[in-house]
Structure 1
Amino acid sequence: MALTIWHNPRCSKSRQTLALLQERGLDPVIRDYQKEPPTMAELQDAMMKLDQPAAALMRWKDTDLSKDAGENAILSALAANPKLIERPLVLTDTAARIGRPPEAVLEIL
C-alpha cells in the first residue's frame, strides 16, 4: 500500500501523526507540502479520497475566504497558498484522512 503524508514539520499534530505511523512500522512518503505544493489535480484527488468537500482541506482560521466559496475557489486558494492546507493529510491509493486527531488516520490503514 502506498502511503503519503502531507507534512508540516513545525506542526505538532503533523509530527504526532508521522510518529504514530512510524510506531506502527509504516514508512510513508513524507511530503513537505509547503516546499513542494500539491497541484490542482492532486488537491482534487485528495478531496475525492477524503470523500468531503474542498472546504475540509482548508485551514479556515488562516484565510479571509468565505466558507460559502465554491470548490474551485477553495482549491485555487489552496494551490496558490499551500500554508492554507489543513494538516497533516495522510493518503493511500484509495483514501485520505486528516490527522486531527492523529488517530483518525488509522481508519484508512
Structure 2
Amino acid sequence: MEETTIYHNPRCGTSRNTLGLIRNAGIEPRVIEYLQSPPDRATLLDLIGRMRVPVRDVVRSKETLYAELGLEDADDDALVDAMLAHPVLINRPIVVTSRGVKLCRPSEQVLDILPAPQRGEFRKEDGELVVDANGRRVSAA
C-alpha cells in the first residue's frame, strides 16, 4: 500500500483522533511530529498548494503567538515565514495520501482521502461515534 503521512501533534486531540482513524483503516502512517521536525519552506508550500486552500487557512489564528506577532493583516509570505519560524502556528493535522492532502479538522475529514476502508467501529476520544461496527461513516446528527 502507498504511504500515508500525518503531520501530527500528539498533544492535540484532533490529531490523535485522526491518527486513530488512519490506523482503523489498517494503515500505519509515517508520523511527522512537526513541532520537532517542521517542514521546510518548499514542503510547506507544496502541502498548502496540494490542499488548494489559502495560506491563512493553515495558520492557527487562535494561537496566542498569532496575535503577539501581529499576523492579522500579514500577507502570505509573512504567514509562511511565521509558520516556519514558529511551527506551533501550523494548523494540524495535515494528512497526505495518494488520494489527496487535507487539513483534517474535524478529524473525520481524513475519511475522504484514506486509500483503504475503515475496519470497524471508531469513536473519538470524547466517545463520539464516527464509524460504525461495519466500518461505515456515521452522519453527524
Establish whether TM, by shorter chain, passes 0.5.
yes
- Kindly indicate whether residue 104 of structure 2 is the aligned counterpart of residue 103 of structure 1: no
When residues 19 and 94 of structure 1 are mapped into structure 2, their CA distance, relative to the original with a 3 A threshold, is closer
Greater RCO, 1 or 2 (C-alpha within 8 Å, sep 6+): 1
Q: Is the 8 A contact 2:21 2:110 kept in 1?
A: no
Moved over 2 A (4+): 65-68, 92-95
Pairwise CA distance, 1:2: 2.3
Unaligned runs of 5+ in 2: 115-141
When residues 55 and 101 of structure 1 are mapped into structure 2, their CA distance, relative to the original with a 3 A threshold, is same
CA distance in 2, matches of 1:44, 1:13: 23
Unaligned runs of 5+ in 1: none
CA distance in 1, matches of 2:90, 2:17: 17
Aligned to 2:117: none
Percent identity over paired residues:
39
Q: Is the 8 A contact 1:4 1:30 kept in 2?
A: yes
Q: Tell me which moved more, 23-32 or 84-93.
A: 84-93
Letter in 1 for 2:28: D
Q: Is the 8 A contact 1:40 1:79 kept in 2?
A: yes
CA distance in 1, matches of 2:74, 2:39: 20
Q: Which has the larger radius of gyration?
A: 2
Aligned to 1:44: 45
Higher helix share: 1
- The count of aligned residue pairs is 109
Q: Is the 8 A contact 1:49 1:94 kept in 2?
A: no
Pairwise CA distance, 1:107: 1.4
Pairwise CA distance, 1:14: 0.5
When residues 68 and 95 of structure 1 are mapped into structure 2, their CA distance, relative to the original with a 3 A threshold, is farther
Q: Deviations over 1:44-68 (max 9, x none)?
A: 0110111011111100011124343
CA distance in 2, matches of 1:94, 1:78: 25
Give the match's secondary structure for 2:17: helix
Aligned to 1:57: 58
CA distance in 2, matches of 1:67, 1:106: 32
Aligned to 1:9: 10
